[in-house]
Amino acid sequence: MILEKTIQELIEKHKFLEKDLSSGNIDKKEFAEKSKEYSDLNEIISDAKKYISFDNEKNDLEKIMNDSDADKELKKMAELELNNLKLQFEKNEKKLKLFLLPKDEADKKNAIIEIRAGTGGLEASLFAADLFKMYEKVSNKKKWVLELISISRSEAGGLKEVIASIKGTNIYSTLKYESGVHRVQRVPDTETQGRVHTSAATVAVLPEAEEIDLKINDSDLRIDVFRAGGPGGQSVNTTDSAVRITHIPTGLSVSQQDEKSQHKNKAKGMKILRSRLYELERNRIDQERSKDRKSKIGTGDRSERIRTYNFPQGRVTDHRINLTLHKLDEFLEGEAFDEMIESLTLQAQEDSLSNL
């Protein structure tokens, strides 16, 4: 009954917005907001009306089926129509419930992705590089814009750490389930006995926060400048261009030295810090809201082992949904990536529906 009442309210809201928008008596800002709301409701209004009319249609068909004067053919047609009606009702109900789930405002945001080599030495850094290449290929296929923020290389083409921003449409909603420990099982090039080694890399995906999302007081920041180390030429290594920004209340700290300009390093560092603080606050609020709920799929615990890439068997397994794809090469090329993401998203929706 609660769902039926809520859906009836959606239908009334849609009718009210339609009338309001056609009146010409609202200002531009309000018109834009109401147009967006009206457009969102348009996606499910037909399903909502069918959901509300279900009982009446069901009763009409049952009357025909129970009518002693109706011929067998008509009763058979009514029974078939009723079965189809019930199936459609279930589909509509699920779609409407998904629409009514609380929206994550961060889903539409761009993302910052951080990849770090974990346990496994050089092999872990090579795997971190493989993961970064995979996300680059996914970005290219989806016409996303990937911009490097900072990078720290190891030997043989590996990566100790890489941070990048990814811009496009609904980036965070696509990549948010990538956060966690990614494990690789393969024979390293340096292994003479042919033994399989296990290494790991961590991935963190953060919604890219804008200044309007989070207010950071200058008094809460400590900014230290220092001379950049590593390769980069004289202009990098002989000036105090590197920047370390510390957020005093939380202790979060970001160092940035890739640019020759201190100003550019500070801007990049603030972008990372803002997104980390934004995610910290989101996680705090989410934990308060869901103390009594456990979800199979999380986006906050970066120490959780989420996926294994097994090269000898050519498979990639996501441990949260027990899904194994025997398409490791395609997955690393970004080809089978959507298949995994769609399965994760569906499971997350099922978890949310069960908590409604």
Question: Which tens digit of pLDDT belongs to each residue from 136-176?
Answer: 999 999 999 999 999 999 988 899 999 999 999 889 999 99
Average pLDDT, the chain: 86
State the Cα–Cα distance between residues 55 and 86, nearest whole angstrom: 10
**β-sheet bridge partners, residue 318:** 307, 323
pLDDT value for 310: 97
Least confident piece of the model among 195-204, 252-261, 301-310: 301-310
Query: Exposed/middle/buried for 333, CB within 10 Å: 0-12, 13-18, 19+?
Result: middle
Beta bridge partners of 256: 243
Q: What is the CA radius of gyration of the chain?
A: 27
pLDDT band for position 231 (50/70/90)? very low
Binned at pLDDT 50, 70 and 90, residue 91 comes out as confident
CA dihedral 95, 97, 98, 104 (to 10 degrees): 160
pLDDT at 228 over 90: no
Rounded (to 5) percent helix, strand, coil in the chain: 50, 20, 30
Task: Give me the residue label for tokens 């419930």.
Answer: 97
What is the rounded distance in angstroms from the CA atom of residue 189 to the CA atom of residue 79? 66
Beta strand segments in the chain, E: 111-117, 145-153, 159-167, 180-186, 197-207, 221-226, 242-247, 252-256, 305-310, 315-318, 323-325
| Least confident stretch, 15-24, 114-123, 234-243 | 234-243
Residue 2 is predicted with a pLDDT of 63
pLDDT over 90, % of the chain: 51
Give the pLDDT confidence score for residue 295 in this predicted structure.
52
Q: What is the model's pTM? A: 0.72
What is the rounded distance in angstroms from the CA atom of residue 86 to the CA atom of residue 108? 34
Confidence check: pLDDT of 27 > 80: yes
Q: What is the DSSP letter of 102?
A: P
Q: Which residue has the higher pLDDT, 182 or 297?
A: 182
Helix ranges (DSSP H) in 142-198: 171-175
**pLDDT for the residue 279:** 86
Give tens-digit pLDDT for 280-332: 888 887 776 555 444 556 554 556 799 999 999 999 999 999 999 999 999 99
CB-side neighbour CA atoms (13 Å) of 245: 26
